[in-house]
Chain A
Amino acid sequence: MEITETVSIHIDGKPYQAQTGRNLLEACLALGFDVPHFCWHPALGSVGACRQCAVKRFRDENDQGGEIIMACMTPVTPGLRISIHDPEVLRFRAAVIEWLMINHPHDCPVCDEGGECHLQDMTVMTGHTRREYRFRKRTHRNQYLGPFIHHEMNRCIQCYRCVRFYRNIAGGRDLNVFGAHDHVYFGRHQDGVLESEFSGNLVEICPTGTFTDKTQKAHNTRIWDLQTAPSICVHCGLGCNTLPGERYGQLRRVRNRYHHEINGYFLCDRGRFGYEFVNSDKRLRTPLYRPERNIAQREMRLEELFQQAVLRLKNPGTIMGIGSPRASLEANYALRSLVGPENFYAGVTADEHALLELARTILTQGPARAVSVQEAARSDAVLVLGEDLTQTAPLLALALGGLGYQKAVAQARKVQLPAWDDAAVRQFGQEAKPALFIATPQPTRLDQAARTCVRAAPHEIAALGLAVQAELSKDSAAAPEAPEALAPDIAQALAKSERPLIVTGTSLGSPAMVQAAADIARALCRLGKSVGLICCVPECNSMGLALLQAKNLSAAFQKASEGRVDTVIVLENDLYRRAPAQAVDAFLQKAGAVMVLDHLRTPTSLKADMVIPVATFAQTSGTLVNNEGRAQRFHAVFPADETIPEAFRLLVELKQAAFGQGRPHLRPVLEDQRLELSRAFPVFSGLAEPLPSLAQPAPGGKVPRQSMGYSGRTAIHAAVSVHEPKPPHDPDAPLAFSMEGYEGQPPPELITHYHAPGWNSVQALLKYQSIAGGPLKGGSYGRRLFLQAPAAQSDFFEKLPPAIDLKAAERLLVPLHHLFGSEELSMAAPAVAQLAPLPYLALNPEDPLAEEGREVLLTVAEQTLCLKVKVMPGLCRGVAGLPMGLAGIPVVALPAQVVLTKGDAT
């Protein structure tokens, strides 16, 4: 680790304390000085391009003249004497803005960045007010960059942040800088969809409106009119923190919410642009009812349907509850309370359930620690077993993609090259290859960052894992007969490292592989290593649901087939995405009545007898548990509609009405659910602790969700009444649907937007950190439910997966995952759906049937599919890849052996 010391520096004649190992710009910002800057960014480091952060340095106290230097390129050294406010340097900084403004179009009134534009802030900060350039501006043609990013090149101030992020951090290749002198152009070689899965971050990295959010643009909103609340991404299991913004009852964009240990400064494009399912026309907005099975559903008022539901629940007979990995802990728990623990089923199949149980066991019992995404980024040897991380846990892929740079930083430190000197570190360490090993059936986007990639079928990956484990613990009895050739290399790299990490996940459906990952971690622990383990899970609350210890969906099907179920309540779950259609059909047929609570119209809701639309994450609050076992709260961005209740509240009210329990005179609140939950399960005991400002209401009240600049609050309803409506009450969050309330910086968990005097852009975030890029002031948040793994000497699984004997016409069918396409909710967002592939079957080029576009037939789980072949170079031989979740791809348990035949002549 870097050794830093606190030294004394002088700024405009006064002494201050600063940390060595940092640059002067970071030090000045940390001390609260407003030093304008563009090309420097906490996640990108310094390159000295924009010349905006100029300050004056003096040799000693007698030096009157001084010299202008760039703060971002100057290390903090003891006794440094600088001036930020010297007239000459003030003039220089104003001149830099003046230069940047020469060609800037000044179209702030129609620019989506306006109001949160770093360029606006910096312009005001330098005091440049008068335009003296009297010649023509140069102009550029804009490019079509796909459904996510709007390009407005004339606004560009050439800070080079975009290409540095896109190429150096995201590993993209198709965005670059072209041309020279005052004609440099940032874009693609030609119009086209940006290839990177992280392109959305350009919106926040760009200090002005060159790259803006196209979905936000389509919604036509000014950013100060957005109502925002801290939220958690619902599109994968990592639990990235987000800040969705709402106006006129519509979500209009999602921005990153900085979490020092999870997503840092970045989001993936599914997380950023998947939000539009909330506005989708696939939303359920009216309650539906059919008194009998064979008639059509018809609309019904919520109150009426509620009464029907209560009547139904009062029937004698079993009520079964099916929970959901995409619903909050509180909603799942409320359902569990309503139906009773014995009748509550996790809404996932036996296979997936077993995998999640396995993940839970491994992570809770240790001895390896579950680590966060950002801790993973600091690992020095990583083995990825089976996961195509870019598609299933994108931010983890982004973190591991930076391992090479981390290695370069470590090497650079040895020659006294500071970590912030970005270009020099990259120059120096350009040949640093990180100890990243990836074993997957198919090529992955992360391969380019890896030292070695292995293409293998799931059971072979498990065998490789066991071989590595055997190599690490030579005395182990389970050493496979034919040791994998690569195992010694991998084992050696892991054993040599200081912070090894094993990454696996559920996406390949292979328990043996997850067990092998755990075995490697255990072997490393026995060697005395502090090893991290990450098990990726598919959905935002998969781990939370696993912790509720329910039975699985297959058991529910079994029970229904025995004819012992009167009513089934399905919570936010499309069973047709979980189990084969015939099984679900049979199950729904057997149930006396089916009640579906969901926000999207799904095949399951179409078959239901009662459909109650419920609020999405944007209009309710709750807790989600991410893959590392971190419970995080999300808060309603805007109030729930009167006719679309919040699921947890509706379930508690149903219980009160049907069984007279609880406190019927009071509106149910989230906090009660959390308290009950914490009492029912020891693992959730930490959740009883209320949020900081609920425990001690802060002076000034709740944290406002609306910005200081929020406009037109009376005008919105002026057609109805010119009186200002009372802000809706929120019993569940220490946040107000108002622009008034708590002033100043709220506790880190409750930041609704980044703002500081003079800092209106996302760059204001640095005012919430004690040092740029560091933790938020006030510390970490999100409760780790199983932080400390016990040191118990648990045993190895050491289960060799059964060998698979493929016959001539057979392939091993394995699941492939797509960032855009495999996830249910984001596919209701048009921009994401646009990028989803059509159904296909992936084959290795050497496969006899490998011919692009050829139709092949395969029969799996008693269904025959006809799919077009996609030739996938690098795909493991003998394997066929089936993309999961796409329309037309049925639910099947994979991996499975299948016979492929040519389709009819087409």
Chain B
Amino acid sequence: MNRPLTKNFQSLGPPLSLAEYEKAGGYQAMRRALTAMEPGQVTALVNAANLRGRGGAGFPTARKWSFVPMGKDAPRPRYLTVNADEMEPAAFKDRVLLEGDPHQLIEGIIIAAFAIQAEIAYIFIRQCYTTAFRRLNTAIAEAYAKGYLGRNILGTDFHLALHLHESAGRYICGEETALLNALEGRRPVPRAKPPFPPVIGLWGKPTVTNNAETICNVPHIIQNGPDWYRALSLTPDGGTKIYGVSGKVVKPGAWELPLGVSMREVIEEHAGGLRPEVKLRAVLPGGASTALLPPDHLDIKMDFNSMQAAGSRLGTGTLVVIDDKTCIVGLVLNLLNFFARESCGWCTPCREGLPWIVKLLKAIENGDGRPEDLTRLKEQPRLMAPGHTFCPLAPGAMEPLQSALTYFEDDFKRHIQEKRCPWK
């Protein structure tokens, strides 16, 4: 089985240096793109490969690139920003790639920047990813020294400056437009769309923001072609995906698997199934802002469309397995506490609504819940639906709440009736 993203991973020690990466076939895709292709051809290849954004929304990558105004009169400079601010609770798939093969990311950045003719790129990295930060810093320095970054890369008239920017550490910075504000040194408050960043982005200039995992796929598409890339996947969307599992399983971890494997396969084959003392109660399939799914959904394929059809989202592809010894109310409280804390404070529903939900959940969990609290909780996902809030943070926070209320309403009722947490 082909595992292009992780093929260079070292089981121990630092990742491949630039020389080793090149020896393993690295930077060939960059060479091909910069010397033998037009920017539009690169985008066309990525388009043919059906690469969809790995940040969670699954937006077709080549389409995003195509929104950037090109041509002589187009605004300059243009920017590529790489979102490596992986702060979604339970997500760690970008970290694996950043630490495991930094040159793969840098090569992807050079090719993607070439495709949109950006001259400046930023990697916006999560604050506590210190190992990844160090490794990327080293790799970037190597790439500059080798002339793969900077002026006239490979003797062409393409220039690219790449900066590594460490986030100040708020979840909202991972939101595409808040990330841009953060980079500009402003409060990381999301921006309204339209205008979309590919047209008006960083410092008012065209900017594409791609997830780190997305970018890592790009060299392989250029190198091996879109047909090969699509064939990696079990779905029409191309490629492999880093899936991860956390929770009370035998072997938590992350694996590169074909896009579209089932949850059952990931949990049972790769994570070794649940520990013997517990039973599966639910799955949080793609990080904290995706809807809980009960065990009867295990055979659903983990790809963008199938997960959506099942009422959840692929999200980051990092599963959280929830067992029968875990209180669902407590779980939701924990998640909502995170979202309430990480609200940027810009729009009313998120800023004021999430803390209220947290207080209600806390009351229920502590045995102070009232029957009318449940009515109020049930109304919240409707009030904080997408579009009602300024950005997707609060609607994302509603996903675990709403699904918990759908599948596990009895748990809430028991808390209220028994005036205590039955799991404590």
Contacts of B351 in A (CB 8 A): 99, 158, 181-182, 184
- Say yes or no: A182-B387 contact (C-beta < 8 A), given A421-B192, A424-B191, A424-B200: no
What is the CB-to-nearest-CB distance from B392 to chain A, in angstroms, rounded to a whole number? 14
Contacts of A160 in B (CB 8 A): 346
Asked if residues A135 and B195 are in contact (CB atoms below 8 Å), the reply is no
- Per the bound structure, the CA–CA distance linking A424 and B196 in Å amounts to 10
Is A95 in contact with chain B by the CB < 8 A criterion?
Answer: yes
Contacts of A180 in B (CB 8 A): 170, 342-345
- Say yes or no: A132-B376 contact (C-beta < 8 A), given A158-B351, A415-B199: yes
Is A430 in contact with chain B by the CB < 8 A criterion?
Answer: yes
Asked if residues B348 and A50 are in contact (CB atoms below 8 Å), the reply is yes
User: Within A167-196, which residues are at the interface with B (CB < 8 Å)?
Assistant: 177, 179-184
Is A68 in contact with chain B by the CB < 8 A criterion?
Answer: yes
Asked if residues B348 and A99 are in contact (CB atoms below 8 Å), the reply is yes
Contacts of A698 in B (CB 8 A): none
Partner of B192, one of A91, A177, A179, A424: A424
Partner of A69, one of B343, B346, B355, B387: B387
What is the CB-to-nearest-CB distance from A341 to chain B, in angstroms, rounded to a whole number? 61
What is the CB-to-nearest-CB distance from A423 to chain B, in angstroms, rounded to a whole number? 6
Is A125 in contact with chain B by the CB < 8 A criterion?
Answer: no
Contacts of B376 in A (CB 8 A): 132
Contacts of A96 in B (CB 8 A): 348-349
- Per the bound structure, the CA–CA distance linking A69 and B386 in Å amounts to 10
Asked if residues A428 and B192 are in contact (CB atoms below 8 Å), the reply is no
What is the CB-to-nearest-CB distance from B200 to chain A, in angstroms, rounded to a whole number? 5
- Per the bound structure, the CA–CA distance linking A347 and B20 in Å amounts to 89
What is the CB-to-nearest-CB distance from B73 to chain A, in angstroms, rounded to a whole number? 12
- Per the bound structure, the CA–CA distance linking A151 and B353 in Å amounts to 25
Q: Mark A409-436, 1 if CB is under 8 A from B, else 0.
A: 0000001010001011001111100000
Is A48 in contact with chain B by the CB < 8 A criterion?
Answer: yes
Kindly report which residue of chain A lies nearest to residue B194, judged by CB atoms: A424
Is B25 in contact with chain A by the CB < 8 A criterion?
Answer: no
- Per the bound structure, the CA–CA distance linking A52 and B390 in Å amounts to 12
- Say yes or no: A95-B200 contact (C-beta < 8 A), given A181-B342, A184-B345, A184-B351: no
Asked if residues B346 and A417 are in contact (CB atoms below 8 Å), the reply is no
Contacts of A67 in B (CB 8 A): 387
Asked if residues A415 and B200 are in contact (CB atoms below 8 Å), the reply is yes
- Say yes or no: A102-B356 contact (C-beta < 8 A), given A181-B343, A424-B191: yes
Is B204 in contact with chain A by the CB < 8 A criterion?
Answer: yes
Asked if residues B345 and A179 are in contact (CB atoms below 8 Å), the reply is yes
What is the CB-to-nearest-CB distance from B274 to chain A, in angstroms, rounded to a whole number? 35
Asked if residues A48 and B204 are in contact (CB atoms below 8 Å), the reply is no
Asked if residues B348 and A423 are in contact (CB atoms below 8 Å), the reply is no
Is B352 in contact with chain A by the CB < 8 A criterion?
Answer: yes
Contacts of B356 in A (CB 8 A): 99, 102, 133, 135
Asked if residues A99 and B353 are in contact (CB atoms below 8 Å), the reply is yes
Asked if residues A182 and B200 are in contact (CB atoms below 8 Å), the reply is no
Q: Mark B325-354, 1 if CB is under 8 A from A, else 0.
A: 000000000000000111111111101111
Partner of A49, one of B194, B340, B354, B390: B390
Asked if residues A428 and B352 are in contact (CB atoms below 8 Å), the reply is no
Kindly report which residue of chain B lies nearest to residue A177, judged by CB atoms: B187
- Per the bound structure, the CA–CA distance linking A158 and B9 in Å amounts to 48
What is the CB-to-nearest-CB distance from B199 to chain A, in angstroms, rounded to a whole number? 7
- Per the bound structure, the CA–CA distance linking A181 and B170 in Å amounts to 11
User: Within A661-676, which residues are at the interface with B (CB < 8 Å)?
Assistant: none
Contacts of A54 in B (CB 8 A): 388
- Per the bound structure, the CA–CA distance linking A177 and B189 in Å amounts to 12
What is the CB-to-nearest-CB distance from B360 to chain A, in angstroms, rounded to a whole number? 8
Is B203 in contact with chain A by the CB < 8 A criterion?
Answer: yes
How many A residues touch the partner, as a band?
A: 35 or more
Asked if residues B204 and A68 are in contact (CB atoms below 8 Å), the reply is no
What is the CB-to-nearest-CB distance from B359 to chain A, in angstroms, rounded to a whole number? 4
What is the CB-to-nearest-CB distance from B331 to chain A, in angstroms, rounded to a whole number? 21
Contacts of B120 in A (CB 8 A): none
Is B383 in contact with chain A by the CB < 8 A criterion?
Answer: yes
Asked if residues A68 and B347 are in contact (CB atoms below 8 Å), the reply is no
Is A51 in contact with chain B by the CB < 8 A criterion?
Answer: yes
Is A47 in contact with chain B by the CB < 8 A criterion?
Answer: yes
Contacts of B390 in A (CB 8 A): 48-49, 51
Partner of A427, one of B200, B343, B352, B388: B200
User: Within B156-210, which residues are at the interface with A (CB < 8 Å)?
Assistant: 170, 187, 191-192, 194-195, 199-200, 203-204
Asked if residues B355 and A182 are in contact (CB atoms below 8 Å), the reply is yes
Asked if residues B347 and A51 are in contact (CB atoms below 8 Å), the reply is yes
User: Within B105-130, which residues are at the interface with A (CB < 8 Å)?
Assistant: none
Is B385 in contact with chain A by the CB < 8 A criterion?
Answer: yes
- Say yes or no: A417-B388 contact (C-beta < 8 A), given A50-B348, A51-B349, A158-B348: no
Is A92 in contact with chain B by the CB < 8 A criterion?
Answer: yes
Is A73 in contact with chain B by the CB < 8 A criterion?
Answer: yes
- Per the bound structure, the CA–CA distance linking A499 and B345 in Å amounts to 41
Is B28 in contact with chain A by the CB < 8 A criterion?
Answer: no
- Say yes or no: A48-B192 contact (C-beta < 8 A), given A99-B348, A158-B348, A430-B203: yes
Is B389 in contact with chain A by the CB < 8 A criterion?
Answer: yes
User: Within A32-84, which residues are at the interface with B (CB < 8 Å)?
Assistant: 47-52, 54, 67-69, 73
Asked if residues A183 and B388 are in contact (CB atoms below 8 Å), the reply is no
Partner of A428, one of B204, B355, B359: B204
Asked if residues A49 and B347 are in contact (CB atoms below 8 Å), the reply is yes
Is A530 in contact with chain B by the CB < 8 A criterion?
Answer: no
Contacts of A473 in B (CB 8 A): none
- Say yes or no: A182-B343 contact (C-beta < 8 A), given A415-B199, A427-B191, A427-B204: yes
- Say yes or no: A430-B345 contact (C-beta < 8 A), given A51-B390, A99-B356: no
Asked if residues B352 and A182 are in contact (CB atoms below 8 Å), the reply is yes
What is the CB-to-nearest-CB distance from A783 to chain B, in angstroms, rounded to a whole number? 43
Kindly report which residue of chain A lies nearest to residue B203, judged by CB atoms: A430
Asked if residues A135 and B359 are in contact (CB atoms below 8 Å), the reply is yes
Contacts of A421 in B (CB 8 A): 192, 195
Q: Mark B384-404, 1 if CB is under 8 A from A, else 0.
A: 010111100000000000000
Contacts of B194 in A (CB 8 A): 424
- Per the bound structure, the CA–CA distance linking A103 and B355 in Å amounts to 11
Contacts of B387 in A (CB 8 A): 67-69
- Per the bound structure, the CA–CA distance linking A100 and B356 in Å amounts to 11
- Say yes or no: A182-B340 contact (C-beta < 8 A), given A50-B348, A158-B351, A428-B195: yes
Q: Mark A498-541, 1 if CB is under 8 A from B, else 0.
A: 00000000000000000000000000000000000000000000
Partner of B348, one of A51, A68, A179, A183: A51
Contacts of A49 in B (CB 8 A): 346-348, 390
What is the CB-to-nearest-CB distance from B71 to chain A, in angstroms, rounded to a whole number? 15
Contacts of B203 in A (CB 8 A): 430-431
Contacts of B349 in A (CB 8 A): 51, 95-96, 99
- Per the bound structure, the CA–CA distance linking A424 and B199 in Å amounts to 11
- Per the bound structure, the CA–CA distance linking A21 and B99 in Å amounts to 49
User: Within B345-376, which residues are at the interface with A (CB < 8 Å)?
Assistant: 345-349, 351-356, 359, 363, 372, 376
Asked if residues A181 and B385 are in contact (CB atoms below 8 Å), the reply is no
- Say yes or no: A100-B348 contact (C-beta < 8 A), given A54-B388, A92-B383, A415-B199: yes
Asked if residues B348 and A430 are in contact (CB atoms below 8 Å), the reply is no
Kindly report which residue of chain B lies nearest to residue A160, judged by CB atoms: B346
- Per the bound structure, the CA–CA distance linking A596 and B387 in Å amounts to 68
Partner of B345, one of A47, A182, A424: A182
Apart from A182-B345, A421-B195, A423-B191, what are 5 other A-B pairs with CB-CB below 8 Å? A51-B390, A68-B388, A92-B388, A158-B351, A181-B345
List the 4 shortest-distance A-B pairs measured between CB atoms, nearest first: A99-B352, A184-B345, A181-B343, A428-B204
A-B pairs with beta carbons under 8 Å apart, 18 shown: A48-B390, A50-B347, A50-B348, A52-B348, A69-B387, A99-B352, A99-B353, A99-B356, A102-B356, A158-B348, A177-B345, A180-B343, A181-B343, A181-B344, A181-B351, A182-B351, A421-B195, A424-B192
Chain A residues engaging chain B, CB cutoff 8 angstroms: 47-52, 54, 67-69, 73, 91-92, 95-96, 99-100, 102-103, 132-133, 135, 158, 160, 177, 179-184, 415, 417, 421, 423-424, 427-431
